[in-house]
Amino acid sequence: MTREQAAGVELPIEAVRPVRPGRWLGAAAALLFLAWLAYTIIVNENLHWDVIVAYLGDGRILGGLWVTIQLTVLSMAIGLALGVLAAVMQLSDNPVLRGTSALYTWFFRGTPLLVQLIFWFNIGLVFPTFAIGVPFGGPKLIEWQANAVITPFTAALLGLAINEGAYMAEIVRAGIRSVDPGQREAAESLGMSHRQVLRRVVLPQAMRVIIPPTGNQFISMLKTTSMVSVIAGAELLTVAQRIYLGNFEVIAMLVVASIWYVVLTTIASVGQHFIEKRFERGHVRLSSRVRRNLSPLPSKEPLPSKEPLPSKEPS
Amino acid sequence: MNAQDQPMVRIRAVRKRFGPLEVLKGIDLDVPAGEVVCVVGPSGSGKSTLLRCVNRLEGIDSGRIWVNGELMGYAERGGRLHTLRPAELCRQRRGIGMVFQRFHLFPHRTAIENVMEGPVTVLGTPAAQARRQAEELLDRVGLAGRAHHYPAQLSGGQQQRVAIARSLAMRPSLMLFDEPTSALDPELVQEVLAVMRDLAASGMTMMVVTHEMNFAREVGDQLVFMDDGVIVERGDPREVLAAPRHERLRAFLGQVQ
């Protein structure tokens, strides 16, 4: 059919959809299941909904919530910095730096986080004091007692952040390697230094690959902080446990903690969505490519003018 | 030796190998200031590698390369060569623009941001001044209306013209073109060649690796035919293309034309 004919005749598609009873049956079954689940939970007297509601805004719970947020944000920030450092070391030409980075990720991914947390909390047993001075047994300038420095919070922060750094290193490394080597060459041919290439060209593009798994790590970290309860970290779960040891409302307190965890992870997911969009800059989806192809052809644009281009006179 | 008779690029006895494969087997070549040298040859002949050695994206195994009278990559002190520090190499590269087959525009920056990137980051040019200069350059490659488009929103020919503007923003004294039209749809080749013609007419020194024999014939001051890591034939493009002396060049021209 030629273009003229297609323009003159309209052939609307008003097709009848096929009947799909399976879909309706599946939906009905799922709704029924959800209704039953909601019913058993709502009418269940053992859940003590009145207690749950009363403790949701309890001062101690909110305090634990705040510690959880602090631990998550600080651990992720330090972990990300460690991860970038370890990834850059891993990709360097220096074999000693590469080895050091590999040792770090190997060790901290190879041991359970729970063990690391208990280890950091008890580090005073191995190193009773921390000091700044000349290493290998030289004189010391300042000295601290380990037991004074290592509170449950600092132990938790050390454990979570250093462990997180080992995982972030792999994520950042994958992100950096995903950037086309031609980008680096183009930047180098402009005369950029290694640092500038990394900061201005490679990392911004690597972010697109780094952000989604980092968001997952953040959401995972919100919940992983609950492990800190083994060293009495004063975060959400520790506080909930303390309360139910007093009033024996075990399930109700766990529901209170769970509600807050869900609220936190939901907020984090929404934030992740917006940050991902921010780093999608320049990565245009198919629809805009089509629009580009529909826009005026390049030949319709003014041709390059005959003005001489700027060039440095050979000196 | 004064500036007039010193070539912009002087390549002497350059050898380069990738593992067991020697891709450059002793190259001697001069590019006088203001001239356009077109390098042609079959793929794998070493022409792109030679170009990448000039701005030291690739190191060389032996030989010397001078650009603008300066030895690339090394400093000679006390009768010995010392490898340059990265910062000094960066300074040498500033004066050499390079245009790639696959453009390599920064995809996270708009056309004008791509052109501003070099002056702002490397030269420390104030953003407002770099923007004015970038606007001028985009206008001269015919893309003033596309300044705020991202590379993915531009056609291949437009991207390559932005890439040329990006290199020019560093005010280079030498431009290297590595098969600048080979990745383009046929109908987009001419718009890029037009920009390159203008650039040549403005007196820019250019080394162009290309398969565009018409461009070489019309714009080139010198044609260099490479095969298997050596320069097989060189001379005035019009003479060389009209009457190739070597069988290998005749066979090559028979294939590309």
The pLDDT tens digits for A64-120 are 999 999 999 999 999 999 999 999 999 888 999 999 999 999 999 999 999 999 999
Task: State the amino acid at position A53 in one-letter form.
Answer: V
- pLDDT tens for A251-305 read 999 999 999 999 999 999 999 888 888 877 666 554 555 555 444 444 444 444 4
Residue B52: left if φ>0, alpha if ψ -120 to 50, beta else—which one? alpha
Query: Between residues A133 and A291, which one has the greater pLDDT?
Result: A133
Inter-CA distances, B79 with A72, A142, B66, B69, B85, Å: 59, 51, 17, 18, 18
**Cβ contacts of A312 on chain B, cutoff 8 Å:** 95, 171-173
Q: Is B173 within 8 Å of A186 when comparing Cβ atoms?
A: no
- Alpha helix positions (H), chain B: 47-54, 86-94, 111-118, 127-140, 156-168, 189-201, 213-219, 237-242, 247-256
Q: Is A311 within 8 Å of B202 when comparing Cβ atoms?
A: yes
Residues above pLDDT 90, as percent of chain A: 64
CA-based nearest residue in chain A for residue B98: A189
Nearest chain A CA: its distance from B10 CA (Å): 15
Nearest chain B CA: its distance from A10 CA (Å): 33
- What residue has token string 């009773």? A128
CA distance B45 to A186: 23
pLDDT over 90 (residue A176): yes
Nearest neighbour of A284 by CB, restricted to B141, B142, B152: B152
Return per-residue pLDDT of chain B as tens, 257 residues. 445 568 999 999 999 999 999 999 999 999 999 999 999 999 999 999 999 999 999 999 999 999 999 999 999 998 999 999 999 999 999 999 999 999 999 999 999 999 999 999 999 999 999 999 999 999 999 999 999 999 999 999 999 999 999 999 999 999 999 999 999 999 999 999 999 999 999 999 999 999 999 999 999 999 999 999 999 999 999 999 999 999 999 999 998 86
Residues of A with CB under 8 A from a CB of B: 180, 182-183, 185-194, 196, 200-201, 204-205, 279, 281-284, 288-289, 292, 298-299, 301-315
Q: What is the pTM of this model?
A: 0.79
- What residue has token string 């039953």? A36
Q: Is B198 within 8 Å of A309 when comparing Cβ atoms?
A: yes
Contact yes or no for B143/B191 (Cβ under 8 A)? no
- Indicate if the alpha-carbon torsion angle A255, A257, A258, A259 is positive or negative: positive
pLDDT over 70 (residue A240): yes
CA distance A59 to A242: 13
For A210, the token pair is 């780094």
- Lowest-pLDDT choice from A52-56, A122-126, B105-109: A122-126
pLDDT over 60 (residue A210): yes
DSSP string covering chain A: --HHHHHH------PPPPP-HHHHHHHHHHHHHHHHHHHHHHH-GGG-HHHHHHHHT-HHHHHHHHHHHHHHHHHHHHHHHHHHHHHHHHTSS-HHHHHHHHHHHHHHHHS-HHHHHHHHHTGGGT-SEEEEE-TTT--EEEEEEHHHH--HHHHHHHHHHHHHHHHHHHHHHHHHHTS-HHHHHHHHHTT--HHHIIIIIIHHHHHHHHHHHHHHHHHHHHHHGGGGGGGT--SHHHHHHHHHHHH--HHHHHHHHHHHHHHHHHHHHHHHHHHHHHTTTT---HHHHHHHHHSPPGGGSPPPPSSPPP-PPP-
What pLDDT does residue A55 have? 94
A164 confidence band (pLDDT: 50, 70, 90): very high
- What residue has token string 């309209």? A10
What pLDDT does residue A137 have? 79
Q: Is A309 within 8 Å of B199 when comparing Cβ atoms?
A: yes
Query: Between residues A309 and A59, which one has the greater pLDDT?
Result: A59
Contact yes or no for A215/A276 (Cβ under 8 A)? yes
Q: Please report, to the nearest 10 degrees, the dihedral formed by the alpha carbons of residues B221, B227, B229, B230 taken in order.
A: -60
What pLDDT does residue A291 have? 53
What pLDDT does residue A6 have? 55
CA distance B51 to B235: 18
Q: Is A303 within 8 Å of B155 when comparing Cβ atoms?
A: no
Residue of A179, A198, A299, A311 best to disrupt the B interface, most CBs of B under 10 A: A311
For B224, the token pair is 């260099």
Rounded mean pLDDT, A2-26:
81
Query: Between residues A46 and A75, which one has the greater pLDDT?
Result: A75
What pLDDT does residue A300 have? 40
**Cβ contacts of A179 on chain B, cutoff 8 Å:** none
Inter-CA distances, A68 with A159, A264, A272, Å: 14, 10, 18
Q: Is B172 within 8 Å of A312 when comparing Cβ atoms?
A: yes
Do β-strands B96-99 and A129-133 pair in parallel, antiparallel, or remain unpaired? unpaired
What pLDDT does residue B256 have? 80
Residue of B106, B148, B167, B171 best to disrupt the A interface, most CBs of A under 10 A: B106
Nearest neighbour of B90 by CB, restricted to A192, A304, A309: A192
For B100, the token pair is 């790639």
Nearest neighbour of A190 by CB, restricted to B118, B151, B173: B118
Does the complex come out with an ipTM higher than 0.85? yes
Nearest chain B CA: its distance from A272 CA (Å): 19
Residue of A180, A189, A306 best to disrupt the B interface, most CBs of B under 10 A: A189
**Cβ contacts of B117 on chain A, cutoff 8 Å:** 190, 200
Q: How long is chain B?
A: 257
pLDDT over 70 (residue A313): no
Nearest to A116 by CA among A66, A73, A167: A167
CA-based nearest residue in chain B for residue A283: B152
Rg (CA), chain B: 18
